[in-house]
């Protein structure tokens, strides 16, 4: 007999807890050549902004020990073309869709929420607040409890009652728990942890930063211990909030580690670059491990590493 | 869109031989070989199971063939450079390698016979020999120019040389052929051989220089570009170049799915580390 | 002809720019079996506290992808035995000594500074402020500009005019530049960047955190991009301050990367665990690279990756 | 202090043979072999040059010997467990391995002949055979108990068995010897053979159980402990256990330099994840 491997995030049902991570699966078209998108818990689309965006100049990436830096700069077609092309295609595939949005001002987030509130076939909104706020000296929204809450409230006020909001947090903060509490108070129904860490690589031949924009986001197995710590801390502080965990997951074992720390679902990012089928093998391995450890329901394993503290 | 034939397989390494500065590596890939066209590339997992390298490495397909016994062969020319390529070049026959192929676009083959000039820099000559054969079969005249920093970095196997009408070699240090760069000899070759189309593969600076010459001489230029690629399958957006589309709009375009073979005259070459003005979404 | 490979930190001279990292070389005795300590630029001793300290329970470490977690908990003999045993021994070896100190209160730092001010044969004091402040709900000194400055001022006021103070900062902050400025204003003569990142590993067999105290400090190549970024940012903001860089250096190339970012010296931590001779091979390789890139003086390479911005 | 003979070398792997669940591996280490004593361990770099594994792995020395031709051999018994040991066990003869040896303390050898009981759990039997030979040469009576979860995890080579007066085997599943744990049979063996000293090596829970029995029977107990080690040379402080010193003070003591062989009766065994009360500096 097989286990109940489904999960739910803010009342939405997903048949498996393995998602793609925003920016690491495009809008699903390319991956659909390797597996049917319906076998994912959900596809989280690349963060979309209001207008088309060229992103940053190349080089946009550098490999690092057990990880990589990227500085894509949110290249994308803008919300209009996205809604015209990507969403209908994904709906046709029967995929469960989580749309990630990003803005440069509080108003941007409000506008995006209004554009998305009545779109059919979306399971949730992931709000990427690791973006520079042009109205506040380019300071990243996710780096301050107040500006993070401003972005989330703007979405909350404009989204209507239907669509759950998942706030995606940055680990580059002194106290991630205070940011988590702040966005939950502002109306987030769930949290996504973690976005990339700010890093830099210098090319020792040219003796200049390798990325055109100097800094980039660090992802991959290298950051997994930071992700596990962030998820564990936030789960301990907010026992009831749904968490989508991510950061360096490449195997079922890794996904299970994030689940034990408190993740209700796990997104796969960088691992897909090493193996287009990563999400599928991770799904299979995770189900095996959860069952082998004696759980009948996936959800019983969520946060299980906290059990000693609950006594 | 991603190459519709792309598949992820475990391929046995059949042979690995040193050739000058390079390694000529042959893999058994079954039916996949039938789908590989000149210009396509493969993406290879490097470093083994506990490696610190998380990304695949891209390699142009040197040759792909189905043997009469049904075995499909895929051949690469690998330059041991950094950790990933050194690891690959050190693998021994019998090793099983994780690869995705075929990826990306291929060189466009003219329907009518034309005069083609093939230009390769360093291991960039790899995809040109299979291309030369195809062009020859279509009745084209094929001239070739290969350049490198030094003689050992010219990859030009004997059987490859046979399939071209002329082969010109340039080296930066003059250790083989003409002293200088490929761009130094192009103008004359274009005129002498009444070239209709240039096919090129090599470092970006070389492709940019060729584009200037091809524009000046008003010849078609198909080039295989090489941007750093994290995924190779179109999902990460690291590998982009500003390229003008059919609608006249310049977009940051993925070289792994809309390339590596692109129309050189449509690429906005730039050595600055900034998005050129006029690019969509800047 | 060989290059001038020496460096200076706050007026102190070191014949080579490669140091050991605090906590990764003990007090030098064990390493001296592998090479003479005089061939190091300096040995930075394990952070010492006022009293003897047992540290935390085991397990105290977990390997992670290209890195490791540790939670030693500052085990050590206390300042009295340290001054009695370790310093005289190191002096006898002819080693250049940087003493790292750690405290749980501002007063602790003051006391330690007074104990060290007249000790002969010390080149500098490294002040580890990545310690929980018992007087402030256990918040780590290095996580707040004000508390970080409090600890450094306490040392400044008590150290006298002789010994340079190097403040060691934590990367686990929203804005490392503001902390750097704050401690420099408080009297730090130099900065050490970076201490470990807070991380966690969960044992997927026991389904509990692997370390007895749950979280630990992440070090090793995995964190190098974070170290390079932190050093680059601080060097850009404070062009004149001496920086001792560290974080994931395992080769001369890696050390050179930190130097280009702005480090005047580079400390070797985790790499020593993989290879006791790491500091020696890194010294050799770094000297070769600096020379191969055409520098006659090591100090000309410091911060060289910033040159485009200085135009 | 660190073993004064410790040196870092590149050693050729001479042979690698499967033995039950384990791999018996032989390295050529030159003169170093002469300095290795029963109980010492080696620290091995795993995973190759681009590995994500940054720490060495510790292995007890199974046997070390100088051959008459001057070749020094070092033998290990490796259990393929996680990534590091699996990598090591997969290396083929001819590979060159980076190792540091000898490290740590060794078993104390009595000056007078005594009755010794050697107790090993799993691969913990590895260092006991060389010890048995040494004790025999000193005229001791040597009895041995080996325990494991199942028969394949008992490591007891034929030549090893010859050097003991009696060998008792226990397995958790009863697939070999007595069903049960080594601690179940110890009391009787101590009495029957009038044991003076117990030498043990194996999982920490086993060592704790043996300590309880050795204390009850008032026999000396030298055990080789196994704590997670990051450096193996005494600089990191990860490998500590609370151990009572000669001055009666219990300190968190490094098992890589003041161990792995320790006086079991002086260790404050504890299964809790807290520093026991009374430890210096708590
Ligand atoms: C379409 C394409 C075709 C290629 N064909 C060949 C070929 O036929 N033969 C061959 O030897 N090499 C080829 N390369 C280059 C190859 O993919 C590797 O980048 C190169 O071998 C260096 O990788 P490394 O692991 O040795 O170096 P590392 O320095 O370890 O590489 C680190 C990262 O930087 C990237 N990188 C480094 N150098 C380059 C480069 N010149 N171009 C793009 N990315 C780079 C790597 O892919 C890797 O992600 C091709 C690259 C592309 C994009
Ligand atoms: C003094 C000593 C002697 C040892 N002798 C032997 C021997 O003779 N034969 C043998 O097969 N193994 C021996 N071990 C265990 C060996 O060092 C490795 O820990 C074990 O092989 C697991 O490593 P891994 O890389 O396969 O597992 P991984 O899970 O990849 O290891 C991850 C990390 O955890 C540590 N770790 C994991 N399991 C253990 C363990 N049981 N004890 C201590 N650290 C652990 C590893 O050393 C490594 O740092 C000994 C350990 C010590 C401390
Ligand atoms: C190339 C790349 C692009 C990314 N783009 C986005 C993005 O658009 N929006 C977002 O919220 N996160 C983005 N991320 C972050 C990932 O979604 C994820 O949070 C992070 O990479 C950690 O997970 P991983 O280690 O599994 O990759 C991107 C990551 C990478 C590597
Ligand atoms: C086992 C261990 C113990 C450490 N102890 C200390 C310490 O006592 N004081 C301190 O300032 N830093 C300590 N550190 C941090 C290192 O000095 C260094 O800042 C960090 O490990 C990053 O460098 P690395 O990646 O080269 O190890 C310790 C690190 C490790 C791994
Ligand atoms: S390499 Fe990922 S999109 Fe091209
Ligand atoms: S393993 Fe580092 S001190 Fe023992």
- For residue A72, report the distance from its CA to the centre of ligand 3, in Å: 10
Cβ distance B54 to A72 less than 8 Å, yes or no, reads no
Give Cβ neighbours of residue D170 (< 8 Å, ≥ 6 apart).
Answer: D145, D146, D147, D177, D178, D179, D180, D181, D182, D184, D185
Q: What is the pLDDT of residues A60-80, one digit of tens each?
A: 999 999 999 999 999 999 999
In this prediction, residue C135 has a pLDDT band, given cuts at 50, 70 and 90, of confident
Ligand of minimum distance to the alpha carbon of C195:
4
The finding on whether B121 has its CB within 6 A of some atom of ligand 1 is: no
- For residue A48, report the distance from its CA to the centre of ligand 1, in Å: 30
The answer to whether B52 faces chain C, any CB pair under 8 Å, is yes
Task: Tell me how close the Cα of A221 comes to any Cα of chain D, in angstroms.
Answer: 10
Report the residue of chain A nearest C196, measured CA to CA: A226
Residue tagged 């001057």 (tokens): D70
Which ranges of C132-251 would DSSP assign to H, the alpha helix? 145-159, 176-185, 224-237
Question: What local confidence, expressed as pLDDT, does residue A2 receive?
Answer: 85
Mutate which of B234, B243, B252, B259 for ligand 5 pocket (most atoms within 8 A of beta carbon):
B234
Q: C66: which chain B residues are within 8 Å (Cβ-Cβ)? A: 52
In this prediction, residue D181 has a pLDDT band, given cuts at 50, 70 and 90, of very high
Q: Is the pLDDT of residue C1 over 70?
A: no
Please tell me the residue having the least CA distance from ligand 4 atom 7.
C23
Mean pLDDT value across residues B63-70:
91
- For residue D57, report the distance from its CA to the centre of ligand 2, in Å: 6
Q: What angle do CA B21, B26, B29 make, to 5 degrees?
A: 150
Look at A109-123, A131-145, B63-77, C228-242 and tell me which has the smallest mean pLDDT.
A131-145
Q: Is the pLDDT of residue A1 over 60?
A: no
Nearest residue to A78 (alpha-carbon basis) of B281, B248, B252, B254: B281
Q: What angle do CA D168, D173, D178 make, to 5 degrees?
A: 25
State chain B's mean pLDDT as an integer: 94
- For residue A196, report the distance from its CA to the centre of ligand 3, in Å: 6
Q: B257: which chain A residues are within 8 Å (Cβ-Cβ)? A: 30
Query: Sign of dihedral through CA atoms C206, C209, C210, C213?
Result: negative
Q: What residue ranges line ligand 5, CB within 6 angstroms?
A: B 229-232, 234-239, 254, 256
Q: What is the pLDDT of residues C10-38, one digit of tens each?
A: 999 999 999 999 999 999 999 999 999 99
Please tell me the residue having the least CA distance from ligand 2 atom 47.
D57
Pick the atom of ligand 6 nearest to D255's CA. Answer: 4
Q: What is the pLDDT of residues D152-161, one digit of tens each?
A: 999 988 877 8
Task: Tell me how close the Cα of B54 comes to any Cα of chain C, in angstroms.
Answer: 11
Burial classification of residue A139, based on how many CB atoms lie within 10 Å of its CB (0-12 exposed, 13-18 middle, 19 or more buried): middle
| DSSP element (H, E) containing D223 | strand D220-224
Mean pLDDT value across residues C234-248:
98
The answer to whether B100 faces chain A, any CB pair under 8 Å, is yes
CA D239 to chain centre: 15
Q: Is the pLDDT of residue D245 over 60?
A: yes
Nearest residue to D194 (alpha-carbon basis) of D218, D159, D170: D218
Cβ distance A70 to B230 less than 8 Å, yes or no, reads yes
Torsion on CA atoms D187, D193, D198, D199, rounded to nearest 10: -120
Residue tagged 């150290």 (tokens): C159
Whether this model's ipTM surpasses 0.85 comes out as: yes
State chain D's mean pLDDT as an integer: 94
Mean pLDDT value across residues A150-173:
95
Q: Which chains touch A (3 or more CB pairs under 8 A)?
A: B, C, D
Task: Tell me how close the Cα of D79 comes to any Cα of chain A, in angstroms.
Answer: 21
The finding on whether D55 has its CB within 6 A of some atom of ligand 4 is: no
Report the residue of chain C nearest B49, measured CA to CA: C65
Catalytic-role residue among A79, A111, A131, A159? A131
Mean pLDDT value across residues D188-205:
95
Catalytic-role residue among C79, C106, C131, C159? C131
Question: What local confidence, expressed as pLDDT, does residue D157 receive?
Answer: 84
Ligand of minimum distance to the alpha carbon of B258:
5
Q: What is the pLDDT of residues C158-187, one digit of tens each?
A: 998 789 999 999 999 999 999 999 999 999
Nearest residue to B250 (alpha-carbon basis) of B239, B238, B259, B241: B241
Token duo for residue A189? 């129904």
Q: D205: which chain C residues are within 8 Å (Cβ-Cβ)? A: none
The finding on whether B55 has its CB within 6 A of some atom of ligand 1 is: yes
* Rg (chain D; Cα; Å): 18
Q: Residues 7..66 of D with a Cβ closer than 8 Å to B: which? A: 47-53
The finding on whether D100 has its CB within 6 A of some atom of ligand 6 is: no
Nearest residue to C264 (alpha-carbon basis) of C307, C299, C231: C299
Q: What is the pLDDT of residues D88-119, one digit of tens each?
A: 999 999 999 999 999 999 999 999 999 999 99
Task: Tell me how close the Cα of C149 comes to any Cα of chain A, in angstroms.
Answer: 16
Task: Tell me how close the Cα of B245 comes to any Cα of chain A, in angstroms.
Answer: 14
Burial classification of residue D112, based on how many CB atoms lie within 10 Å of its CB (0-12 exposed, 13-18 middle, 19 or more buried): exposed
Pick the atom of ligand 6 nearest to D237's CA. Answer: 3
Question: What local confidence, expressed as pLDDT, does residue C136 receive?
Answer: 82
Residue A24 among the catalytic residues: no
Pick from D50, D55, D92 the residue to mutate for testing the B interface (most B CBs within 10 Å).
D50
Burial classification of residue C84, based on how many CB atoms lie within 10 Å of its CB (0-12 exposed, 13-18 middle, 19 or more buried): exposed
Percent of chain B with pLDDT over 70: 100
CA distance B252 to D29: 57
| DSSP element (H, E) containing D241 | strand D240-244
Report the residue of chain D nearest C59, measured CA to CA: D228
CA distance B79 to B92: 16
Mutate which of A79, A217, A248, A274 for ligand 3 pocket (most atoms within 8 A of beta carbon):
A217
Percent of chain B with pLDDT over 90: 92
Ligand of minimum distance to the alpha carbon of A103:
3
Three-class HEC string of A239-292: CCCCEEEECCCCCHHHHHHHHHHCCCEEEECCHHHHCCCHHHHHHHHHHHHHHH
Please give the C-alpha separations between residue D73 and each of C306, D21, D129, D237, in angstroms, as whole numbers.
53, 22, 16, 30
In this prediction, residue A310 has a pLDDT band, given cuts at 50, 70 and 90, of low
Chain A residues whose C-beta sits inside 8 Å of any chain D C-beta: 65-66, 221
Pair A116, A125: CB distance under 8 Å: yes
Mutate which of C65, C148, C219 for ligand 4 pocket (most atoms within 8 A of beta carbon):
C219
Q: At what angle do helices C176-185 and C224-237 cross, to 10 degrees?
A: 50
Mean pLDDT value across residues D145-155:
94
The answer to whether B80 faces chain D, any CB pair under 8 Å, is no
Question: What local confidence, expressed as pLDDT, does residue A242 receive?
Answer: 98
């Amino acid at each position: 007999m097989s286990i109940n491997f489904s999960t739910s995030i803010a009342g939405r049902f997903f048949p498996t807890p393995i998602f793609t991570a925003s920016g690491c699966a495009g809008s699903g078209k390319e991956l659909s050549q390797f597996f049917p998108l319906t076998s994912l818990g959900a596809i989280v689309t690349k963060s979309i902004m209001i207008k088309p965006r060229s992103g940053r100049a190349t080089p946009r990436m550098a490999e690092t020990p057990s990880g990589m830096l990227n500085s894509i700069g949110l290249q994308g077609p803008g919300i209009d073309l996205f809604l015209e092309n990507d969403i209908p295609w994904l709906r046709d595939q029967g995929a469960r869709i989580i749309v990630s949005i990003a803005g440069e001002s509080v108003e941007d987030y409000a506008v995006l929420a209004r554009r998305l509130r009545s779109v059919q076939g979306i399971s949730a909104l992931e709000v990427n607040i690791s973006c520079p706020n042009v109205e506040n000296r380019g300071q990243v929204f996710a780096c301050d409890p107040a500006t993070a809450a401003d972005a989330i409230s703007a979405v909350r006020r404009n989204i209507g009652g239907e669509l759950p909001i998942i706030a995606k947090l940055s680990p580059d903060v002194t106290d991630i728990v205070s940011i988590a509490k702040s966005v939950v108070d502002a109306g987030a129904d769930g949290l996504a942890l973690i976005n990339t860490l700010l890093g830099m690589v210098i090319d020792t031949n040219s003796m200049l930063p390798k990325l055109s924009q100097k800094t980039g986001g660090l992802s991959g197995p290298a950051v997994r211990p930071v992700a596990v710590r962030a998820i564990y801390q936030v789960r301990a502080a907010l026992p009831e909030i749904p968490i989508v965990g991510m950061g360096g997951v490449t195997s079922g074992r890794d996904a299970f580690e994030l689940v034990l720390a408190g993740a209700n679902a796990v997104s796969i990012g960088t691992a897909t670059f090493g193996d287009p089928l990563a999400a599928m093998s991770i799904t299979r391995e995770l189900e095996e491990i959860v069952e082998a450890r004696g759980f009948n329901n996936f959800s019983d394993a969520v946060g299980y590493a906290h059990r000693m503290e609950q006594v | 869109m991603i190459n519709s034939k792309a598949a992820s397989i475990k391929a046995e390494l059949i042979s690995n031989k040193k050739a000058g500065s390079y390694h000529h590596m042959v893999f058994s890939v079954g039916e996949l070989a039938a789908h590989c066209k000149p210009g396509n590339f493969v993406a290879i997992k490097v470093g083994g199971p506990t490696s610190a390298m998380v990304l695949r490495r891209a390699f142009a397909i040197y040759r792909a063939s189905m043997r009469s016994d049904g075995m499909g062969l895929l051949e690469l020319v690998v330059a041991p450079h950094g950790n990933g390529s050194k690891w690959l070049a050190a693998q021994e026959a019998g090793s099983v390698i994780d690869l995705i192929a075929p990826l990306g676009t291929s060189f466009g083959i003219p329907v009518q016979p034309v005069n083609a000039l093939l230009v390769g820099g360093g291991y960039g000559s790899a995809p040109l020999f299979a291309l030369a054969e195809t062009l020859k079969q279509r009745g084209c005249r094929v001239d070739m120019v290969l350049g490198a920093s030094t003689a050992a970095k010219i990859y030009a196997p004997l059987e490859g040389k046979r399939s071209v009408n002329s082969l010109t070699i340039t080296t930066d240090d003059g250790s083989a052929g003409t002293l200088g760069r490929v761009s130094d000899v192009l103008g004359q070759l274009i005129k002498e051989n009444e070239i209709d189309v240039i096919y090129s593969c090599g470092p970006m600076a070389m492709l940019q220089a060729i584009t200037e010459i091809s524009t000046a001489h008003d010849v078609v230029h198909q080039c295989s570009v090489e941007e750093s690629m994290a995924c190779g399958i179109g999902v990460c957006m690291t590998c982009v170049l500003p390229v003008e589309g059919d609608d006249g709009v310049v977009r940051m375009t993925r070289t792994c799915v809309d390339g590596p073979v692109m129309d050189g005259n449509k690429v906005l070459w730039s050595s600055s580390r900034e998005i050129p003005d006029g690019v969509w979404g800047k």
